[in-house]
């Protein structure tokens, strides 16, 4: 079963629980390479990407196990600093392992990573940054990294890349001296990683700002049994947009308001009522919304590129014109041909998608070409007239756990096929 069958126009009602963020879990798991003891992560879904990352850890000699929603990772027996080709090609996040592996073993063999295909995503910025810590790198498709020792340095990133920032943080934890990273990414997932490492004895300051300082330590030590990662702001955004596109009233539990401000600002006054309480967001729809104006993706706290496809899908059902500019991944518009199958009116002009909202779309047979476009297609199918089939459920499940079950609990007509 690798598709979702959705009969649209059922309003969503009820409560939905979001779990730990995929984009937080992947670097957290990678950082376990720095440790010689077991740690537990709470509220962890068995997402496709997470399982692949764990299998990579296992191939290196590590261990993992699940106890309900608690994930235990033990890298005390790690002995092979060679990333497996087949698994590494499955996920982009395999590159997160370069930093911690070079810090622990002083050598790494790797291949260029895989993941969603939405344009060129060069890894040069990762490699160039690690070179500034004293890492020697050779090869192209097959990479070989070596370092007699890692030496703290001042590194200014050419772009505030989340992955590069995380890689440098992990590598710098065990380096000699201080590393200062400027023009770094500010995402909440980075703060989550730094909080975890600091609890283990790392010396990191500045997480969540454009300047992070890491004072290297000799070793990280176990000071706690469990760590609770942040919840998934992209999953929160997906359920908010799905509810808006169908109507109804939904409570999202585990939602961090501050992490979703850029989205909330766009939808706050759009014929809906939003209220916030602790870690809950309440959304009540009050009719069909109007266009969203201009949206430009960018590094946090700007509008997230991971919600570009979902909000583009929502904009198709609104009244009026919405313009969405993608500045992070230039080719991240694979959803557009699929939405056009549903009779959407979208024009692509370079890095901008111009959406002329026209109300309800029609059901169609659709292909999820990447994770977030798959989420966008679900949003459109839920509000469309008729039945839609979305092929590529395995791609969607890389980032959304039990999405079919969660939507059925809210009243959607969704089945696997």
List residues with catalytic annotation.
116
> 284-299: buried (b, 16+ CB within 10 Å) or exposed (e) per residue?
ebeebbebbeebebeb
Taking the CA atoms of residue 156, residue 161, residue 165 and residue 167 in that order, the dihedral angle to the nearest 10 degrees is -120
From CA 224, how far away is CA 214, in angstroms rounded? 21
Return d(Cα 269, Cα 287) in angstroms, integer.
12
């Amino acid at each position: 079963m690798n598709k979702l069958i959705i009969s649209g126009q059922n309003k969503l009602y009820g409560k939905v629980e979001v779990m730990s963020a995929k984009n937080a879990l992947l670097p957290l798991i990678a950082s376990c390479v720095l440790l010689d003891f077991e740690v537990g992560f709470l509220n962890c879904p068995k997402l496709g990407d997470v399982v692949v990352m764990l299998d990579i850890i296992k191939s290196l000699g590590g261990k993992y196990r699940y106890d309900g929603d608690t994930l235990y990772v033990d890298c005390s027996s790690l002995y092979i600093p060679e990333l497996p080709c087949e698994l590494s090609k499955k996920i982009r996040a395999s590159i997160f392992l370069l930093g911690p592996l070079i810090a622990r073993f002083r050598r790494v063999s790797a291949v260029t990573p895989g993941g969603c295909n939405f344009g060129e995503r060069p890894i040069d910025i990762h490699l160039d940054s690690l070179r500034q810590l004293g890492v020697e790198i050779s090869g192209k498709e097959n990479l070989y990294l070596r370092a007699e020792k890692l030496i703290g340095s001042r590194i200014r990133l050419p772009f505030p890349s989340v992955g590069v920032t995380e890689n440098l943080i992990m590598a710098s934890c065990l380096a000699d001296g201080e590393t200062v990273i400027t023009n770094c990414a500010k995402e909440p997932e980075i703060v989550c990683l730094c909080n975890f490492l600091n609890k283990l004895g790392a010396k990191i300051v500045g997480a969540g700002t454009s300047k992070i300082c890491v004072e290297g330590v000799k070793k990280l030590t176990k000071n706690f049994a469990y760590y609770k990662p942040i919840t998934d702001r992209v999953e929160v955004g997906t359920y908010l947009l799905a509810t808006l596109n169908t109507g109804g009233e939904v409570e999202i539990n585990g939602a961090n308001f501050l992490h979703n401000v850029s989205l909330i600002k766009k939808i706050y006054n759009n014929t809906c009522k939003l209220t916030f309480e602790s870690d809950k967001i309440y959304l009540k729809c009050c009719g069909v919304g109007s266009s969203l104006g201009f949206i430009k993706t960018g590094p946090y706290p700007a509008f997230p590129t991971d919600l570009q496809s979902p909000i583009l899908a929502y904009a198709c059902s609104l009244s009026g014109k919405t313009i969405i500019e993608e500045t992070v991944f230039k080719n991240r518009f694979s959803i557009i041909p699929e939405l056009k199958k549903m009779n959407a009116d979208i024009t692509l002009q370079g890095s901008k998608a111009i959406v002329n909202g026209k109300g309800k779309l029609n059901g169609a047979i659709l292909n999820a070409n990447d994770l977030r476009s798959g989420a966008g297609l679900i949003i459109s199918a839920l509000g469309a007239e008729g039945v839609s089939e979305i092929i590529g459920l395995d791609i969607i499940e890389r980032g959304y756990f039990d999405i079919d079950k969660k939507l059925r609990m809210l009243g959607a007509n969704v089945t696997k096929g």
